[in-house]
Structure 1
Amino acid sequence: MIHEVKVKGLLHRTKDPQSWYDVYYNFNIYRGCSHACIYCDSRSKCYGIENFNDVVVKINSPQLLKKKLVSISTKRTIGTGSMSDPYEPAEKKYKLTQSCLKLIARYGFPLNLITKSDLVLRDIDILSEINRAFCQVIFTITTTNRKMSSLIEPYAPNPQRRLLAIKELSKRGINVGVHIMPILPFINDTESNIKDIVTQSKQHGANFIIASFGLTLRDRQREYYYNQLEKIKLGLSKIYQKQYGDLYYCESIKASKLRQYFKELCKENHLIYNMADVTTYEKLKQTQLKLF
Structure 2
Amino acid sequence: MRYLQVQEIRCKHLLHRTGASFAEFTLNPYIGCGFGCSYCYVPVLRAKRGQEGVDTWGSWVQVKVNAPDVVRREMLDVPRDAHILIGSATDAWQPIEKRYRVSRGVLYELSFYPNKVTILTRSPLLIRDIDLLKRFERVSVHISLPTVDERVRRVFEPHAPAVAGRLELTRRLLSARLRVTWAWCPFLPGVENTPEQIRRYVQTAAQVGVREIWVGRINYWSFLEGRYKALLRKYRGEAGWTPRLLMREQTEQMVKEECEKAGIVCRVRYYTGSAGTSPFTHPFGGSRSVATEKERLGRSLALQKDVT
Q: Following TM superposition, by how much is the alpha carbon of 1:108 offset from its aligned partner in structure 2, in angstroms?
A: 2.8
After TM superposition, give the deviation of residue 46 of structure 1 in Å.
Answer: 3.1
* Closer/same/farther in 2, CA of residues 49 and 230 from structure 1, 3 Å limit: farther
Shift of 1:233: 5.2
Answer yes or no: is 1:180 the counterpart of 2:164. no
The answer as to 2:209 corresponding to 1:216 is: no
* Matching residue of 2:165: 161
Give the aligned CA root-mean-square deviation in angstroms. 2.3
**Residue 36 to residue 177, structure 1, CA distance change in 2 (3 Å):** same
SS at match of 1:106: coil
State TM-score, norm by structure 2. Answer: 0.77
1:59 Cα deviation from its structure 2 partner: 1.4
Residue of structure 2 equivalent to 1:272: 265
Q: 1:160 to 1:48 in 2, by over 3 A?
A: farther
Pairing partner for 1:72 from 69, 78, 85: 78
1:258 maps to which residue? 251
Aligned residues: 259
| Residue in structure 1 matched with residue 34 of structure 2 by the alignment | 34
**Aligned counterparts of 2:7 and 2:85: Cα–Cα separation in 1:** 24
Per the alignment, in what secondary structure is the counterpart of residue 70 of structure 1? Answer: helix
Q: Is the 8 A contact 1:27 1:79 kept in 2?
A: yes
Q: Equivalents in 2 of 1:48, 1:89: separation in Å?
A: 27
The reply to whether residue 62 of structure 1 matches residue 68 of structure 2 is yes
1:6 corresponds, among 5, 10, 13, to 10
User: What is the aligned counterpart of 1:46 among 45, 48, 52?
Assistant: 48
Relative to structure 1, is the Cα distance of residues 47 and 62 closer, same or farther in structure 2, using a 3 angstrom cutoff? farther
In the alignment, is the contact (CA less than 8 A) between 1:183 and 1:252 conserved in 2? Answer: no
Amino acid at match of 1:160: A
Structure 2: any 5+ residue segments left out of the alignment?
A: 270-308
In structure 2, distance between residues paired with 1:83 and 1:12: 12
Pick one of 61, 85, 88 that aligns with 1:82: 88
Do 1:178 and 1:206's aligned partners in 2 also have CA atoms closer than 8 Å?
Answer: yes
TM-score, normalising length: structure 1: 0.81
Contact 1:38 1:224 in 2 (8 A): yes
Contact 2:184 2:213 in 1 (8 A): yes
User: Structure 1 residues 47, 264: closer, same or farther in 2, change over 3 A?
Assistant: farther
Deviations 1:163-190 (A, max 9, x none): 1211111111111000111122223322
Partner residue in 2 for 1:100: 106
Match of 1:189 among 193, 205, 213: 193
Quote the sequence identity (%): 25
SS where residue 129 of structure 1 aligns? coil
Unaligned runs of 5+ in 1: 244-250, 277-292
Residues 213 and 252 in structure 1, CA contact (< 8 A), matched pair in contact too: no
Q: Give the 3 Å change call, closer, same or farther, for CA 275–181 of structure 1 in structure 2.
A: closer
State the shift of 1:149 in Å: 0.6
How much has 1:16 moved relative to structure 2?
1.5
